Amino acid sequence: MVAITRNSKVVVLTGAGISAESGIRTFRASDGLWENHAIEDVATPQAWERNPQVVWEFYQGRRRQLREVEPNTAHLALVELEQYLGENFLLITQNVDNLHGRAGSKNLIHMHGELALLRCETCLSVFEMMDDVHLESDYVACQECDNPRLRPHIVWFHEMPFQMPEIYAAVEDCDVFITIGTSGHVYPAAGLIDVAKSCGAHCVGINLDAPVNLQQHDEFHQGKAGELLPNFVTNIIKK
C-alpha cells in the first residue's frame, strides 16, 4: 500500500472502466462500444471526411446518453483525493464523457477531448453543445464563421492527444502514478506509466482485469473502481 501524504505529488490516469458503473460501455469489453462499430468507421479523420453522417450520429448518440448517466462513487472518491492534495493532484482522463467534471474534479485534463464540445475546422473555435436543439439537429453550424458543420472535439485515431507537454511534465514530476479503469492498449496514454516509473514514481493500478501493462505497476488492486476507490482514498486521507 503506497504512502501518500498531503505533500505527495499524485497523477491519476483514468479510462473507460471508471465510467462503467455509471452505465457507459467501455471500448474493449465483449459488449464494448467498439462492438457495433469499426473504429475506422467512426473514430478517424478519414471516416469524418468519407461519411460524416455516420460519425456525427455515433457521437450524437453518445452525447445524448450523457443526460441519462451520473458520476459514480469512483468519480466522487477522486474529488475527495483532489480536495486532500490540492495543487499536488492532477487527473488525466482518456474519457470523453463529462462525469469527472460533473463529480467536481477541477485539476482535470481530457487528453482525448470531450463529447460535450464541438470544434470548427475552419476557425478552430470550440463550443459547448449540449442543449436539446443541438442534440437533435443534423449538423451544428459554427457561431464564429460560415462553416455549416462543426466536428466533434474528440481526438480520433492518428490524431495527437491534447496537452501532452503539460501531461509529460506532471508525470515526470510525480511521486505516485495511479491508473484506474484502463486496459493499457492505446498510446501515448498507455506509455505514461513507463515515463512515471523511469522518473521514480510509485505506480498503482486499479482495474477490473489485469491491464496489458500490468508488469509496470508496483501494486495492483483488481476489482471495480466504484468498490475499491472509496476505501483506497479513505485509507490515504485518514492516516
State the catalytic residues: 112
CB of 64 vs ligand APR, minimal distance in Å? 19
Name the 3-class secondary structure at 71.
coil
Exposure string of 10-31, with b = 16+ CB inside 10 Å and e = fewer, is bbbbbbbbbbbbbebbbbebee
Whose Cβ is closer to ligand APR: residue 139's or residue 220's? 220
Identify which of residues 28 and 102 has a Cβ nearer to ligand APR in the complex.
Answer: 28
In angstroms, what is the minimal distance from the CB of 24 to ligand APR? Answer: 10
Whole-angstrom CA distances from 94 to 2, 48, 147, 226, 228 are: 24, 21, 28, 18, 20
Nearer to ligand APR, 90 or 181 (CB): 181
Which CB atom, from 118 or from 180, has the smaller least distance to ligand APR?
A: 180
**Would you state the cell numbers that stand for residue 216, as one nine-digit string?**
509496470
d(CA 18, CA 51): 31
Do 28 and 35 form a contact (C-beta atoms < 8 A)?
Answer: no
Contacting positions for ligand APR (CB under 6 A): 15-17, 20-21, 26-29, 32, 94, 112, 181-183, 185-186, 207-209, 211, 224-226
Nearest to ligand APR by Cβ — which residue? 17
Query: Shortest Cβ distance from residue 132 to ligand APR (Å)?
Result: 27
